[in-house]
Structure 1
Amino acid sequence: MRPALWPCPWDEGSRRGPVLLPGTVFLPAATAPHALLPPGLYILAIAFALEVSVGKTNTVMALNGSDILLPCTFTTCIGFQDLIFTWYFNSTELIYHGKIKSKTSEPILVGRNPRVEFVGSTTGKDNNISIVLKDVELSDAGRYTCHVLNPKEKKAHNATIFLTVVHKLEETDNTVTLIIVGVVGGLIGLLILFMLVKRVVLFIIKKIQDGKKECLVSSSGNDNTENGLAGSKAEQKAPPKA
């Protein structure tokens, strides 16, 4: 069991309320940002508020003993200053805690689990606060939450990714896929063969028809020639009338 660096932000067994991270800011309801904005601007502010993402899929699989990347990025509409980000395992164990002064500075490490390494960067295009969990164990399977607090926006947001750890990567059975590919390939081959046979047959039929036409034209020309010669001979043999 890995020791936690800090307790969870909330104490489920206590009635004293949440344990606040440094820099956490709470506003009374009367002075909350939405209370100072017209309805239209409040909706616009919600649309461009702080967002945290772990990518297109929120599940990853790791091989026991390997290293695994846990991605996380954030976006903010008005920039950030003294931003705080944390990574939690199963909402109870703080495995990474960092701070970012501004967009022009890289994150500063506050504390981390020895097997966790920060691999992100916030000075480029993306605000990347991803981490790598080294030498993954079966007990590492669970829920990892990336939490971001931006005091400049007075907003906090988080995203969760689920890690599954296996002894060995299962080999995918491609039998069905190979059968489908074989059937489809066979059908395509038969279709191509049918088209070729059809073209050959049509070509042969056309040649035969052209040959018949030539024979008919030749026969008709011979008949006309013979008829013309016969008529000439008859005219020559006809006796002159007295």
Structure 2
Amino acid sequence: MCVPTYNEADNLAWLVGRLRAAEPAVHVLVVDDNSPDGTGALADELAAADDAIHVLHRTEKGGLGAAYLAGFRWALDAGYDVVGEMDADGSHQPEQLHRLLEALVEGGGADLVIGSRYVPGGSVVNWPKRREAISRGGNLYVRLLLGIAVRDATAGYRVFRRTALEKIDLDSVESTGYVFQTDLVTRCLRAGLTVREVPIEFVERVRGDSKMSGAVATESLRRITRWGLRERREQLHRALRRGR
């Protein structure tokens, strides 16, 4: 599992300990963006005590998507067949990871499995109603504009098959913020890959500060709008060509 960090010293050992206890066979890659609070050094200590924990140090805070891309490339180079992602703040519960891993192989298998807040059985704990409404509204906007059926395209609790990451051309991904999540699920669907959602209970962090901001949300909305309009133009051009 790739776990990106920036100033998560209060959460990291707690989260990684839970993950290693819940899924002993799963390796952990901490991708730290040079956290000034010492998260990177703490990650090194954890890795020194456990061969299944690894650390990738980046030199600057470059955005969530950039951290995940670096982690994915590391995992692919290391030969892993399944690559996952989860937040470092505890909002994604390690004890529910088995749901995603099981869905990856059940019923003929999936290429990407998303831990979803918004499918039946999913839930959000300790979020203000306004924030949940914004999140649900954003996902509805994504579904309508991009023409996809995924209920929680912005979710960050996921597992990919290696072959899926290789097929969607990670080198061409330019999104670095939270819109990265929507970008990758859309790429998977456009590539004809199988995407499944399983319900999770998402729990708001209790320690540390959220990295989401108005600027991040605006960047995500702008990119999604641009992608959606481009997709609609391409659909129109395809329809016109078929009609000739």
Structure number with greater Rg is 1
Bigger helix share: 2
TM over 0.5: no
Bigger strand share: 1
Bigger RCO of structures 1 and 2 (CA < 8 A, at least 6 apart): 2
Q: TM-score, normalised by structure 1?
A: 0.24
Q: TM-score, normalised by structure 2?
A: 0.24
